[in-house]
Amino acid sequence: MPAPRESPPGGRLIHGDNLEVMERLLAGGHGGTIDLIVTDPPFFTQRPQERDGIAYSDQWTSLDAYLAWLRATVERSHALLRPTGSIFVHLDWRASHHARLILDEVFGPGGEAGAPGFRNEIIWCYTGPGSPAMGQFNRKHDTILWHSKGARWTFDRDAVRVPHHPKTKQNFRGDLEGSGFTNPGHELDEAGKVPEDWWVLPVAARFPVDGVHRVGYPTEKPIALIERIIRAASRPGDLVADFLCGGGTVPFVAQRCGRLWIASDRNEQAIALTRARLRAA
């Protein structure tokens, strides 16, 4: 097991390359021990990523080189997950279609109840300025691919319910028979609805909307996005991992939600930010 360096309570923070860290975990007998992996890998932008003086490279010699690395990451993730574990892989238009093929090959095509593999293609929608010179619709969504290792997996729908739209509540106060909205006898669950597979959530910003200040890491994801994933696909006390942790949003949210965690990154700045963030939590 890689030795964590001054890890905050509740988890293991490791400085190292993601493939090497996962290999060492497997060699140390930790295969089949992780309940949930949430990963936000490089998007194959073919350019450096920089924000507030913090940078990492997303430049590759070729698409084949990138996909070989991504496949190795997915294969090791599969080996580390429990039989009931899940992985969420966050990408965008550049590589999500390639990743779906790799994930289906390693985890299974899934789709049907009781089949291992693919569970959801989640679309995270956000807003922001566009470019008038693009000559096309503005690209304002990312794709999050959810695959389960086995035919049984965790999905805590009650932990992620959201309020019904006021119009929905109004409709259910009347007689909906024949309206096409629902079948006779259906009742509205007052606890809220299970979210669809498209999520409209604001991006991580300098001025936060959820009461938590951003750490300023490039491509940092919002807490609300990660929290929905962790609450839905794991339970308190489960082990959550992110081997490309960046600014540490996954371990931060995991700790806040009562999960154990493992986080790693090869970037010294990422490790320092994550450590400081978790100690202040």
Q: What is the pLDDT of residues 19-64, one digit of tens each?
A: 999 999 999 999 999 999 999 999 888 876 655 555 567 789 999 9
- Tell me whether residue 45 is in a domain: yes
**Whether residues 122 and 241 fall in one domain:** yes
Structure confidence at residue 176 (pLDDT): 46
- Tell me the C-alpha distance between 18 and 264, whole Å: 7
Banded model confidence at residue 178, pLDDT cuts 50, 70, 90? very low
Q: Which residue has the tokens 């936060």?
A: 208
- Tell me the C-alpha distance between 54 and 147, whole Å: 31
Residue 67's domain is classified under what CATH number? 3.40.50.150
- Tell me the C-alpha distance between 152 and 14, whole Å: 30
Structure confidence at residue 182 (pLDDT): 55
- Tell me whether residue 1 is in a domain: no
DSSP state of 191: T
Q: Which of 15, 72, 11 lies closest to 230 in space, CA to CA?
A: 11
**Whether residues 256 and 169 fall in one domain:** no
- Number of domains the chain is built from: 2
Q: What is the pTM of this model?
A: 0.87
Q: Do residues 86 and 119 lie in contact, with contact meaning Cβ atoms separated by under 8 Å?
A: yes
Banded model confidence at residue 3, pLDDT cuts 50, 70, 90? very low
Residue 210 is inside which H or E element, if any? none
